[in-house]
Amino acid sequence: MLSKIPLKCAGKPILTPMPGGGQHLNSDEFFQACEHSKPLEEAKKMQDKKENGLLLQETEKKAHQLLSTKGPLTDKTYKQCNKPDIKLLCKWKQIEVKADKKDIMFNLHSSAPEPPLVKPWSQAEELELLELAKP
């Protein structure tokens, strides 16, 4: 946490610890550096959100392909499905699978509702991310 620097210190050099030794900054440069880190933190959060959304879209696409080729997973089609297929469907529904047993995964899948469609990453969000990541 940053402590408040008295007004009489404004513009005077202060020492900040840096890897490999200290570096002299005046208080204005110090606060500019602190302000620059906030957009970078926001950019990191947005990048994580983007990557998570892309993974969800990929999983959703695979799940829909599986359902279109093999049909919906029901009691009748359960025996025809293999464990990786059911695991993919659980991942699509964002179910955390702790047990690696086919019947348990089937029960988890059957009890969970179908997830909403994943919202694609927009051009506006991409521009905002690029703007925040600028040095």
Confidence of residue 62 (pLDDT cuts 50, 70, 90): very high
For 27-52, write each residue's pLDDT tens digit. 666 656 555 567 778 888 888 988 99
Report in angstroms the alpha-carbon separations of 10 from 25, 37, 133.
11, 20, 28
Q: Chain-centre distance of CA 22, in angstroms?
A: 34
d(CA 84, CA 97): 12
Average pLDDT over residues 60-67: 93
Confidence of residue 64 (pLDDT cuts 50, 70, 90): very high
Residue 86: count other Cβ atoms within 10 Å of its Cβ: 23
Instruction: Write down the pLDDT at residue 68.
Output: 92
For 75-118, write each residue's pLDDT tens digit. 888 888 889 999 999 999 998 888 888 888 898 888 889 888 88
73 three-state secondary structure: coil
Confidence of residue 1 (pLDDT cuts 50, 70, 90): very low
The domains of the chain are located at: 39-112
What's the predicted TM-score (pTM) here? 0.64
